């Protein structure tokens, strides 16, 4: 398995992605909006907004929405996050670090479902919200 992983790491398919990953690592995040110029910027002055979904809304979100848009729940949640961020900040691009469990299936003949993840991985991603997606998910 280790030899297959080493070969995969140096494969032409994976090396083709290298430039794209390097570009993402160079992206500078947009500045967050300031509510009150010169105001406090402390943990004590922070506010929290909490929203909860009913059981029916949660079921619809997890089952019906991904099926209706032929996507996965993570895509739906990321799109909602981008829409909320764009509405609040005025920016259509968001730089995120996404964390994974480190057990992605790289090879179809290797079952990783019963493995113990040795480490978590973090991927830096730059997400942008094109007009067509904003209209599609309304």
Per-residue pLDDT of the chain in tens (138 residues, 90 and over written 9): 678 878 878 888 888 888 877 887 788 888 888 877 888 888 888 889 899 999 999 999 999 998 998 888 888 898 889 999 999 898 888 888 887 766 667 777 877 666 665 556 777 788 887 754 544 444
- What pTM value is reported for the model? 0.66
What per-residue confidence (pLDDT) applies to 116? 64
| 91, 126 contact by CB (below 8 A) | no
Gyration radius (Cα) of the chain, Å: 19
d(CA 94, CA 82): 7
**Burial class of residue 83 (count of CB atoms within 10 Å of its CB; 0-12, 13-18, 19+):** middle
CA separation for the pair 51, 3 (Å, rounded):
47
The widest CA-to-CA distance across the chain, in whole angstroms, is: 58
- Token pair of 1 as six digits: 């398995």
Name the region of 86 (left: φ>0; alpha: ψ -120 to 50; beta: rest): alpha
pLDDT (0 to 100) of residue 120: 67
pLDDT computed for residue 115 by the predictor: 66
């Amino acid at each position: 398995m280790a030899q297959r992983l080493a070969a995969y790491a140096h494969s032409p398919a994976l090396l083709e992605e290298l430039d794209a990953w390097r570009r993402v690592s160079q992206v500078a995040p947009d500045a967050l909006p300031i509510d009150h110029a010169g105001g406090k910027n402390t943990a004590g002055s922070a506010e929290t907004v909490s929203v909860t979904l009913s059981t029916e809304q949660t079921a619809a979100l997890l089952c019906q929405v991904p099926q209706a848009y032929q996507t996965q729940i993570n895509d739906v949640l990321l799109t909602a996050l981008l829409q909320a961020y764009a509405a609040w900040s005025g920016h259509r691009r968001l730089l995120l670090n996404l964390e994974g469990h480190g057990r992605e299936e790289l090879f179809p003949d290797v079952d990783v479902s019963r493995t113990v993840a040795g480490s978590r991985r973090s991927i830096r991603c730059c997400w942008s919200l094109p007009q067509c997606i904003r209209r599609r998910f309304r």
